[in-house]
Chain A
Amino acid sequence: MGMRRGPPGPLDREDNRRSRSMRVLLRRMVHYLGGFKRVVTIGAVFSLLSSIFSVIIPIILTNGIDAVVPGNTVTSTLVILVVAYIVLSLTSWILSSLKIWILSGAQAGLVCAVQKDVYDHLVYADLSFHKSQQSGNITSRVATDTDSLSLGIQVIIEFASQVVFLIAIFVTLWITSPLIALTSLIAVPGVLLIAGVFGTLGQQIMLSSQRAYGEVSGQIAENLSGIHIAKAFNREDELAENISKLNERAYAYGFKFSVLMGVLMPLMRAFGQIGVAAILFVGATLAVGANAILTIGEVVLGVILVNQFMMPLLSLSMLLSRVQASMAAMDRISDVLESKPAISDNESAAELRDDSDGITFDDLSFSYIEGIPVLRNVSFHIRPGELVALVGHTGAGKTTIASLINRFYDPQEGRICIGSQDISSVTLKSLHEAVSLIPQEPYLFDGTIIENIRYGKPDATDTEITCLCEILGADEFIEALAEGYQTKILESGKNLSSGQKQMITIARTMLADPRILILDEATSRLDAYSESLVQDAQALLFENRTTVVIAHRLTTITNASRIFVFSQGELVEQGTRDELLKKGGVFKGLYDTYYTHQGIDRISERIAQVAEAEIAEHGSIEKAS
């Protein structure tokens, strides 16, 4: 109902289509990198140096091959080369280790920075953004996307050093002999072929595989949440069968990918070795005869380097696909970072005074989307301590009123006052301390019961909480739970009944002790007896508090001091139940349709028909889920 009616937001995009240009996304990535400028630079330099060293080391070894001549005594050259080898190898090892050391920290730090940034934006994002997203999607923005971002970052950092490595190898080969260098290029088409196949066919299989995995995962999630039904109807086997089918598909794709890699990997090696064979042949030709231009060592150098030539080429081309995925993640993250922030304090915002109470709507109009008004010229005054019930058909604007009093949105016209203070000129903190909203579905956080109650007042002592629960009559069932107040709440309360959840939310709000209470009444999922207990607890909660209830219960509208009847965004009637019934207007129709049958009278065919007509005109109040 109401609350879900927000402006349409960016929809869930899990695929790799991007909505922003590469430049924008890269700039944003580099911006985050900027926070780690020094370490990243140092890391890149280390990476570069160790690349260059790994080219020099083969040169030393092959020089050694030329330096020793059979029959001659060992030259000092060999000793120098051996020493040089040790020194360079160890230095290269240290450099690359330092690189890993530094960049691991930078990479993790960067992911953490993005995570915090995304999270902060989400915590403060406009409610409409949250309404347009499933919480599962939002979670993957924080957890999964930031992770795949880190891969992209790694690629960007490594890119330079791989390129340098490549150039260094080629230059070395060229210096050795241009002909050798050119021969080494024989491997290039091979690498391009592999990269091409990997980038197209490989990517395709990988995406299908991910999708298939996603389906398995979705089915498992569904089976687990429906396990009680499967058991009740003895249908566990059939559900396992469903998974088996999907699982088989995921297997087929995963297997295909492995087989493809089983072709590409040896192929890559093969191209390298064919390069070796070619260089050996060309090198040998150049190394013989009277005017040999190559030494044996140089031929061997060519052989070693051509093998290494493959690595950076391959990793560069394969890394590109990672960058793609990473960009897509950055794109989705950008959706969050660019989301509209929620309302924040005015610069001149004052505290809401302790004596400000009662609510006044002053000629207020509001729309979520321009041109589609949700509330029109609404004016009313609720006295301090009064209990007012809001009623109306779907779309009448009840939930919007609740959101506006909490200042989740600002009205386009008119104003809302608490006492004499306009709520747009008080601090949000003081407003939320004075006003509490209980949403329709009782929501509990993962954590213990006592933690959930304490949410209303973080510095409350244990005794304070248990005393309150005693007054409410909630302590009995809490203590009857396995671990009493320390019982862990799983999956927002799957181990609790609806009645228990409602009692806990009531306790939480009472602990916060707000002056003003806004309640979107739960569309009662309780049995008759629990219902009577919850109502007793609520009566305590309402006592001496200014209360606005979006009412679904017959008893609530009976006990309200005034009922506000809304129709299509306008306040059309107000008064007590009896007054309004006598009037025979909008309220009478609503009453017959939604409230009367909650009593003890037998429902008649005639009332059913009246209700049908009423719904045909205004739409059903029932929430589709």
Chain B
Amino acid sequence: MIEEAKKNQITPLRYLFGGLSKHPGAIFVAVILSTLSTVLLTLPSVLLGLAVDELEAEGAVTSLLVTYVWMIVVSILVYMVLFFIVNYVWAVVGHRWERDARQEFIEILQENSMTFHDEVDSKRLLSVAMQDIFWIRFSLNPALPDIVSAIASFGVTGFFLAMIDMEVAGSPLPIFSLIILIGTPVYLISAYSFANRIESIRRVRSETMEEITSISQGVFSGIEVVRAFGSEEREKEKFRTTAEKYEKMVTREGRLSAFYIPAVILIAMTTIAFLYGGVAVADSVLSKGSFVTVLTLLISLTGLNFHLPNVLLSLRGGMINAERVVKILNWQDPMIEPEISSKVDWTSDIIFNDVSFRYSNNENGDHYALRNLSMTIPSGSRVALIGGPGSGKSTLLKLLMRLYDPTEGTIEIGDIVLKSVATKDVRNAVGNVEQDIFLFRMSVRENIAFGHPDASDEEVETAAKRSQAHDFIMDLPNGYDSMVGERGTTLSGGQRQRLAIARALIQDPKILLLDDAVSAIDAKTEFEMRRALDEALRGRTSITVTQRLRTLIESDLVIILDKGRLIAMGSHDELIQTSREYRRIFSRLPGADPILKSAAIGGTQ
């Protein structure tokens, strides 16, 4: 289904029933058995009629009557077996569908490029993966088999009524058959149109629920901000409006099952059968037993009224859920993988050739994140990259990792255009230590080995030692086996960063990108961090986004971006003399006066 989703746009209907077409044989058998089991469930009504006739005729409890009683018991026992099998088949089909659909859904999401993940709220993705797919499964099982057996009930009832019609001697019209022949389609059509009414309501209801979740999540995560601006009343109002909208939708959805018109159709059918059957019995053309059969059959059909409305709504609701899933699956990825990945000498210079980049959700705008960037990063150099908010520096790093492709221009490494290299190969060669260190809910060891899954324990330890992480890891309760991430051992920012450096070291990338975010750390940690960084940067081309002034001074090359343009590039000594923006960095710093003064003299030369 992955391929299908990528190439053709799949429709909600195909998505919904895709699971069934996988097991056509099983479904066929299930439908047959389901019909059979409906026959068995209906049989007692017929047997009851026969028993009544026997009773009327003989006026005694004959052995035939006792046989009928036993037949009722036997038929229900066989029914149990059949039902179990049918249910088992549907359960297999339904639950497997759910499992596979969820797996495929999340795999497609993970394959999608970062453009997708930047655009779509992950809360929404999660709720589609869990809720919507659950409800679709619910509409496949139990809702769909319930509908199958409901339709079978109509069919089987019709069959028995037709048999009874044949018994009615001399009647000009097969009235019972007509009742069911006319009544059934009318019932089903009105039931279908009833189910259709849920569509808009269910959609708005789901969206409003999302809104409620999002409002409360937002407000309570930021409760201090709410308090600080004294805007409790405003937030209350906002929630009130949404909660009331939700109330309205829930009410409307609940009220759908009221005044279920199809029930009236069944009442009409029963009334006609009651009257006609009564007359026929009086005319001695119909046995009392058959009359009883007709009535009990129709009463059984009435029993469907309790269950069928909800089932129909579930099935129709499932379609809406399927629409939501399909809308996400059909997203078209602008990033195209090359047919054959070009070989690259990663130790070459990195050349930016008039590179411009625009995020895709802004197709008509002229808001470029990067504009006409041309520069060469010499092989093996230590580069510091800085720039104001929105200057495009993180975009630049993302382009180098091929999380995105340039909108215009090319990035070349050793004469090879990066676009012609498979993302997998790019990311093997280009390592990354990001700003907000993300650690998975795994052990420390697994988190470090994330950069190189086959790494031995020794390799993990070596990497940890080189990144100055080994000592604090050994102090953790379970050493390298301590769990980190959510609900795991809590680590400080400095510790997390050193783990991330270890993770990058073990990957041993040719080019290392490093967003070096420093939180408030002490001199001891800082000292260790700088040693870890030195270790990480040795022997490869590196680009560091940094706050450390020391790093700026020690870099081979400093690049300053502003509003997506390159505004200055050179060594610290050059820039302190030539760049106003660069000098600004040091202006508020105590003890920086000598540097600036000497530079000022240099600058005027």
Contacts and interface: CB of A to CB of B under 8 A. Distances in A.
B218 to A, nearest CB: 5
Given A234-B427, A280-B72, A525 B517 contact: yes
B443 interface: no
B258 A101 contact: yes
A86 interface: yes
Nearest to B393: A527
B225 A443 contact: yes
Given A78-B282, A90-B264, A443-B225, 9 more contacts: A81-B274, A231-B423, A262-B91, A443-B221, A492-B218, A498-B517, A558-B588, A600-B592, A610-B523
Interface stretch (B157-165, B324-332, B339-347, B579-587): B579-587
B138 to A, nearest CB: 10
Interface in A564-580: 577
A240 B229 contact: no
Contacts of B229: 432, 436, 455-456, 512
A229 B438 contact: yes
Interface in B495-540: 496, 503, 507, 517-528, 530
Contact of A136 (B217, B246, B250, B591): B217
Contact of A482 (B125, B362, B518): B362
A60 to B, nearest CB: 9
A289 B62 CA distance: 12
Given A258-B87, A284-B55, A499-B388, A527 B225 contact: no
Interface stretch (B20-28, B181-189, B484-492): B484-492
A263 to B, nearest CB: 6
Interface string B470-499: 000000000000000110001111101000
Contact of A135 (B217, B228, B387, B564): B217
B450 A233 contact: yes
A355 interface: no
A56 interface: no
Given A100-B257, A122-B220, A112 B117 contact: no
Contact of A443 (B92, B130, B222, B288): B222
Contacts of A477: 388-391, 563
Contacts of A602: 550
A608 B224 contact: no
> Secondary structure at chain B's binding surface: helix, strand, loop or mixed?
helix
A339 to B, nearest CB: 12
A107 interface: yes
Nearest to B41: A269
B490 A138 contact: no
Contacts of B235: 123
B212 A597 contact: no
B590 interface: yes
Contacts of B304: none
B105 to A, nearest CB: 9
A624 B586 CA distance: 30
Nearest to B402: A231
Nearest to A94: B259
Contacts of B226: 123
A168 interface: no
A139 B220 CA distance: 8
Contacts of B264: 90, 93
B388 A222 contact: no
Contacts, number: 546
15 contacts: A81-B278, A100-B257, A111-B250, A232-B401, A236-B111, A280-B72, A288-B61, A432-B230, A439-B225, A499-B390, A523-B519, A528-B548, A592-B523, A622-B521, A625-B496
Interface string A426-447: 0011011101111100011110
B84 A143 contact: no
Given A439-B225, A620-B492, A64 B274 contact: yes
Of the four ranges (under 10, 10 to 19, 20 to 34, 35 or more), the interface on chain B belongs to 35 or more
Given A222-B485, A255-B92, A610-B523, A127 B299 contact: no
A361 B573 CA distance: 48
Given A277-B69, A523-B520, A97 B258 contact: yes
**Pairs A-B, 6 closest by C-beta atoms:** A104-B254, A477-B390, A262-B87, A482-B362, A432-B230, A499-B389
B114 A228 contact: yes
Interface stretch (B311-319, B406-414, B428-436): B428-436
A603 B218 contact: no
A226 B438 contact: yes
A369 interface: no
Interface in B29-75: 41, 44, 48, 51-52, 55-56, 59-61, 65-66, 68-70, 72-73, 75
A600 B87 contact: no
Contacts of B216: 119, 122, 138-139, 142-143
B420 interface: no
Interface in B340-359: 359
Of B41, B220, B432, most buried by chain A (CB within 10 Å of CB) is B220
A624 B490 contact: yes
B91 to A, nearest CB: 4
B232 A124 contact: yes
Interface string A573-599: 000010000000000000011101111
Interface residues of A, number: 197
B360 to A, nearest CB: 9
> Secondary structure at chain A's binding surface: helix, strand, loop or mixed?
helix
Given A116-B240, A480-B367, A135 B221 contact: yes
B270 interface: yes
Of B51, B52, B103, B229, most buried by chain A (CB within 10 Å of CB) is B229
A450 interface: no
B546 interface: yes
Contacts of A75: 282
A281 interface: yes
Nearest to A104: B254
B361 interface: yes
A438 B78 CA distance: 72
A457 B549 CA distance: 37
Contact of A532 (B75, B281, B585): B585
A371 interface: no
A64 B278 contact: yes
A532 B428 contact: no
B227 A284 contact: no
B110 A239 contact: yes
Contact of A229 (B61, B231, B434, B526): B434
Contacts of B423: 231
A503 B299 CA distance: 71
B526 A603 contact: yes
Contacts of A531: 547, 585
A97 B275 contact: no
A502 B389 CA distance: 9
B103 A244 contact: yes
Interface stretch (A20-28, A246-254, A410-418): A246-254
B244 interface: yes
A36 interface: no
Contacts of B465: none
A247 B75 CA distance: 39
B87 A259 contact: yes
Of B87, B102, B123, B216, most buried by chain A (CB within 10 Å of CB) is B216
A329 to B, nearest CB: 16
A230 B439 CA distance: 11
Interface in B244-299: 244, 246-248, 250-251, 253-255, 257-260, 263-264, 267, 270-271, 274-275, 278-279, 281-284, 288, 291-292, 295-296, 299
B576 to A, nearest CB: 11
A233 B507 contact: yes
A11 interface: no
Interface stretch (A158-166, A213-221, A316-324): A213-221
Given A224-B122, A254-B98, A446 B214 contact: yes
B136 interface: no
Contacts of A251: 95-96, 98-99
B544 to A, nearest CB: 9
